[in-house]
Structure 1
Amino acid sequence: MDAAKGIGEGRVPEADFLFVSYSHADAKAAATVVQTLQSAGFTVWWDALIPGGDRFGATTNDALERAKAVVVLWSKASVGSHWVHDEATFARDKRRLVPLSIDGSEPPLGFRQFQYIDVSKDGMKPGSPAMQRAIESLGLLMERGAPDAAPAAAPRFNRRALIGAGAVVLAAAAGFGAWKLARPGAAASNSIAVLPFDNLGSDGGQGYFSDGLAAELRSQLSRNPLLKVMGQTSSNEFRGDKDDARAIAGKLGVNWLLDGNVRISDGVVRVAIELIDGETGFTKWSDSFDRPLANIFQVQQEIAQAVDRILAVEMGAGDETKLARSGTTGSVAAFDAFLRGRDMFESQRDEASDRGALARFEEAIRLDPDYAGARAARARTLAVIANQYAQADERQRLYGQAVEEARTAIRIAPELADGHVALGYALFYGQLNAKAAEEHYARAAQFGQGSPDVLSRYALYRARRRQFDDADAAIDRAATLDPLNPSVFKAQGLIRYARGDWEGAIESASHALEINPQRSSLHGDIGNALVQLNRLDEAEAAFAKEKNGLLALPGRAIVAARRGDMAASNAALAQLLRDHGDNGFYQQAQVLAQQGRKADALDALEKAHAAGDSGLVTLDVDPYLAPLRGDPRFGKLLATIGFT
């Protein structure tokens, strides 16, 4: 068979074509590669009919100049060929290089920064998985879809195996601009998940650093308002997962996966990255960065900007669409302390881990007082400790510190969504000032459209202000960005409960339980909705499963009161007083209102306000307090907090 069929002897074709560079000693293998590429629909130019001494004759040179892509066949023979070196160098410099190894040989020095496709094991004929990868890469490099080829088997690989210590650019010597990543008709071509990075260093305790680097990249990418970036909780579900990339992308509902690994040794950090097409499972871009640890922030920016640029080209967007990134530090030590703190805070283990996280954030701020991200994290942690663990006096002190810290973060970085949402939270939950919190929740939503956490907290605020349309839009976006995050669906359930959708509230909380059966407070949320449906036996069973006493005890007391069993209701109320004291004023009011003791319930609410009880943020939407509505004392509380 004439492998150059349709081209003519040595004649350079007019249409788009690719050039095959090889050693004369590998002519038989080259002919097989050429036939496979032609059967896939490519026009191929090669010099099988030109004597080796004439390789750089006018025709060959013209073909090399005009080729859209250059396939270099590396082998023991071609590694030693000056002609192949020259052609490969030309292709590398013009960003047209697609390297294949036909006998397992590594490329020579000067070309090892490019990941090559080893076709020596799978073979070079049609149907070979390795050749299918080459065909896909060539199609994309030539700025069109992959040519019509025999259907390839679904690519199966361990997504971690693709980024070894030496894995770098796959045909992306073509550069960012050459890759056309969007597929015509594909939905949400701007959706991406940043998977948890592997720690390849000898120190297993540095896992927080690789996780933190992935989280920082996720955060940077999410600040581009045109990108839909999958949330951290959902992305982290696939840590060490053996599914192929297409399965992971399908489960997350994204078009692209960004994966990588990190190795720290002797003060040098190596970050290897790959961008994977979720539809095909093939790597579209990969690179590795070796930098002194002090330059880790440069690496973050390079990676984030590269991915932004790749996807922005397909969305027709330029740099003007991207919000300024803010809140970062130039101190490696401060960054390290911040990552350690975030790792502890996100573990959600107990009070000790939260206070340990607080100490790490404070260390980061000591090392870099202008580290706005660390200040926002400290503000949030102070508010969480105040809300969940502190008694009245300490609670107010901690909330006051949270407000001041969040204000400082915003002063340093005015567009930092985490700073605004931390301030909104501290003002609303800590100072019970709904109106003062309004501006900062709105700013958080403006700058945090890519953050499921920011969107969830914003949505809850809107629901508690009875602004349900805004709440629904925000929580739906959060669920799209982080569909495996139980906290998002817990928030969705609370929003539905606030608007009186009891069945919907049960559905959302139950879904959150399916994701994480150990998640606290969800049984209590379900129990509360069941009470509103008057399904008291089911509600009692739900409260029996709830580990959070501030949900379980008032729930049991209310179920008993609904049944008319006041002795059992009072017994549960007495236990609530014993176990939670001043932290349970709001829950006491709920029980007393359901028992019909309106004056006592209003007294408890006023004590809750004096103590700064954050339960009052639900005052305007809590169905348990319905018996109190219309009372002047209740109306005064609503006005004081800013609900009216």
Structure 2
Amino acid sequence: MQNEPSEPSDSKRATLFLSYSHADDAKARRIATLLEEAGYTVWWDALIEGGAAYARSIGSALETADAVIVMWSANSVESDWVRDEAALGRDRQCLIPISLDGARPPLGFRQYQVIKFRSWRGRRDSPQFEALERAISSCSGAPAPAVRTRQRGVSRRAALIGGAGAAAAIVGGGAYLAIDRGLFGGKADESSIAVLPFKNLSGDSSQEYFAEGLTEEIRAALIQLDELRVMAAASSERAGEDEDDLQAVAKKLGVGYLLGGSVRKSGDLFRISTELTDGKTGFSMWSTTVDRRLNDILALQGEIAHMVAEALSIQIATDEPVPGGTKNAEAYDHYLQGKSLYHLAKDEESDRQALANYDVAIAADPDFAMAHAARSRVLASIAAEYGKANELKPLYAESTAAARRAVELAPNLADAQLALGFVLFTGHLDVKGARPSYERAYQLGRGNADIILLYALYCSRAGLPDQAHAAIERALVLDPLNARVHRAAGSIDYAARLYADALPPLHRALELNPKISNAHAFLGYCLMQLGKLKEARAEFDAEPTNFFRLSGLAIVDHKLGDKAEADKAMADLVKEMGDASLYQQAQVLAQWGSADEAVARLERARQVGDSGLIYLATDPLLDPIRKHVGFSKLIRELNLN
């Protein structure tokens, strides 16, 4: 049963007047609908009956409304009608301004605190809508209604886009982003920047890692500026590859500024050139060229952040450098080489080469916390992706030790807290124990899309869907061209049983990276849950990762009545993956109706330390065995409920 909209607890129903530009009709209509559902009396011009005197109706409503909500946007700031309505609300001292797209209010209205709806996704249980209701309560004297629980029966994105538009978003592959967020081709957020990949001018391709590392460390320094939204690496790099024109890059990313540069190595000196560009005009705001030795590079990153802040009139809260660094040139160089290899996400060999570089970095500087955190992450990745059953526990133990050392050395290093949370959850299945580290990492790294992404996935798997959705929405704003973020958004909706909602982001992930793993499998799971079995089978057949392809085929072929093909897929899964696929085997058996055997496989998975068990609490494929005594016992013993 769906929850009914809550009424204001006070007997008075606040009357609201909505002022907006007709170009913003879709978002205005959504806000009006939610306000009406919350129990307010809402007046907006869509309610004027045919034949009514338009101006007289507006004047009467403006004079009697408890609050005048003005929706500023790039469209409405140019509207004389909206300015006049806002002026009357201001004169009556009942003006509530909101900004739909980040546009600043016109002169005469900038002294009022604006509620920012730029990244709002159409939900009432959001910080933006809660702030709006508090403002209404303050104006009208009526208490704000309680936040309503989100209705699962309605697609969040379909509700926002509306009717046929929702279908277009699914078919159009990612159209929901353009409508929902205004990211591509939209108005740029002036307090935002993208750091484009620094160019390696050394004439030596083996030095590419250094240019990559410098780009990332400068981005990390800029993230420390609270007033600046910093676009994540994947989206910045992708936009830079697709476009040569800087104005086009800025428009595509929806940012106000671009920072780029180059690196040239000569002996033990690095010549580093940096340029800040205004995204609206394409003109350079400042540029600088400096020569530095390797052990001075970390200090340079802070200097560049200061110059950007000064150019953009941003106040720096602290001069403290990012914690956990090093002044040892050899340690820093091997750390950058390790990061470059790890980010390739190529294969086990490249991950182990990354691990070897982190080991050299730590040998050169045992107190290099960033290297300890990176070492922990790569060890956990090797265990989860390539580890044999008898290797899992030793690898996770080593990863845990490295993460704890990183936290000991630099408690305020977001990557250290993230590494500890990740290994406690993934390697030790300690949901409650991992949460403080994840929460601390999220607090320290709220401008880092990678940290936000992993926090969102943790929340999803730990049974915290609201926190997961809020975090992944933030990651999508910071990294809209990253296939992994869209895949994560789809997986979070899937775990929340919002199967139709999960389809657009999963399709978008495959558009951005057709070879990304697990996206086809998640599409298959969603389509299967929606009863579209033949479409689901096609998705499983296209999945490149054997774990998910074979288990998906075993399930869907069984549902299609082809037991021989289902048995073959299951046999191939066991033969090719062995005990490393125990969790997937349990999924198949649960869907086949073999509850006892499914639970037995999960028990074996626990014994070998299969990281797949982190999905146990929320996995829809295990729903058929949730009432099984053995399953309930396993959930309790693993502290997953």
What is the TM-score normalised by the length of structure 2?
0.69
Q: Report deviation, 1:451.
A: 1.0
Structure 2 counterpart of 1:193, which letter?
Answer: A
Deviation at 1:501, TM superposition (A): 1.1
Contact kept? 1:554, 1:587, Cα under 8 Å: yes
Q: Percent identity among equivalent residues?
A: 44
2:274 counterpart letter in structure 1 = I
1:528 equivalent to 2:529? Answer no
Alignment of 1:496-511 (within 5 A): 496-511=493-508
**Pairing of 1:308-319 with structure 2 (within 5 A):** 308-311=309-312, 313-314=313-314, 317-319=315-317
**Largest Rg, 1 or 2:** 1
| 1:455 match | 452
- Checking the alignment, whether the CA contact within 8 Å between 1:225 and 1:449 is kept in structure 2 is no
1:214-234 per-residue CA deviation (whole Å, 9 max, x = no partner) reads: 111111211333321111111
Partner of 1:505, secondary structure, is: helix
Distance 1:364 1:349, change over 3 A: same
The code of the aligned residue for 1:298 comes to A
For 2:269, give the aligned amino acid.
V
> What's 1:546 paired with?
543
Contact 1:417 1:445 in 2 (8 A): yes
Pick closer, same or farther for the CA change 1:506–1:240 going to 2, 3 Å.
closer
Structure 1 match to 2:473: 476
| CA distance in 1: counterparts of 2:328 and 2:239, whole angstroms | 30
Read off the aligned partner of 1:603 and give its amino acid letter.
A
Please name the residue that 1:67 is paired with: none
User: Do residues 438 (structure 1) and 441 (structure 2) align?
Assistant: no
Residue 301 in structure 1 maps to residue 298 in structure 2? no
Amino acid at match of 1:631: H
Equivalent residue runs for 1:124-523 within 5 Å: 188-239=189-240, 243-311=244-312, 313-314=313-314, 317-320=315-318, 325-523=322-520
* Cα distance in 1 between the residues matched to 2:435 and 2:572: 37
1:621 aligns with 2:622: no
Answer with 229-238 or 441-450: which moved more.
229-238
Q: Distance in 1 between matches of 2:633 and 2:431?
A: 14
Deviation at 1:260, TM superposition (A): 0.4
The answer (yes or no) to whether the contact 1:324–1:415 under 8 Å persists in 2 is no
Structure 1 segment 70-89 matched on structure 2, within 5 A: none
> In the alignment, is the contact (CA less than 8 A) between 2:309 and 2:316 conserved in 1?
no
**Partner in structure 1 of residue 163 of structure 2:** none
Amino acid at match of 1:429: T
Letter in 2 for 1:628: I
Which whole-Å CA distance do the structure 2 matches of 1:499 and 1:524 have between them? Answer: 16
| CA-to-aligned-CA distance 1:161-180 (integer Å, 9 cap, x gap) | xxxxxxxxxxxxxxxxxxxx
Q: In 1, distance between residues paired with 2:361 and 2:206?
A: 19
Deviation at 1:506, TM superposition (A): 1.8
Q: Which amino acid aligns with 1:339?
A: L
- Whole-Å separation in 2 of the counterparts to 1:420 and 1:304: 24
> Contact 1:590/1:624 (CA < 8 Å) preserved in 2?
yes
Q: Which residue of 1 aligns with 2:602?
A: 605
Q: How large is the Cα RMSD of the aligned pairs? A: 1.6
The one-letter amino acid paired with 1:559 is V
| Structure 2 CA distance for aligned equivalents of residues 242 and 560 of structure 1 | 44
User: What displacement does 1:537 show?
Assistant: 0.6
Mapped partners of 1:607, 1:520: distance in 2: 26
Equivalent residue number for residue 56 of structure 1: none
Contact residue 223 and residue 449 of structure 1 kept, 8 A: no
Equivalent pairs, count: 456
Q: What is aligned with 2:640?
A: 643
User: Under a length normalisation based on structure 1, what TM-score does the superposition of the two structures give?
Assistant: 0.69
- For residues 186 and 557 of structure 1, what CA distance do their matches in structure 2 show? 47
State the distance in 2 between where 1:641 and 1:506 align: 31
Hey, what's the Cα distance between the residues in 2 that align with 1:296 and 1:241? Answer: 29
Post-superposition Cα deviations, 1:595-631, rounded to whole Å, max 9, x if no partner, equal 1111001101111111111111111111111111122
Counterpart of 1:190 in 2: which secondary structure?
Answer: strand
Residue 239 of structure 1: how far off its partner (Å): 4.7
Amino acid at match of 1:590: Q
Contact 1:513 1:519 in 2 (8 A): yes
Work out the CA distance in 2 between the residues paired with 1:625 and 1:280. Answer: 54
Equivalent residue in structure 1 for 2:555, among 554, 558, 577 = 558
Amino acid at match of 1:393: N
Counterpart code for 2:444: F
The one-letter amino acid of 1:209's match is: F
Aligned partner letter, 1:552:
R
Alpha-carbon contact 1:479-1:488 (below 8 Å) kept: yes
Is the contact made by 1:329 and 1:368 (CA closer than 8 Å) also made in structure 2?
yes
SS of alignment partner, residue 190 of structure 2: coil
Q: Which runs of 5+ in 1 are unaligned?
A: 1-184
Shift of 1:308: 3.0
Q: Is the 8 A contact 1:223 1:447 kept in 2?
A: no
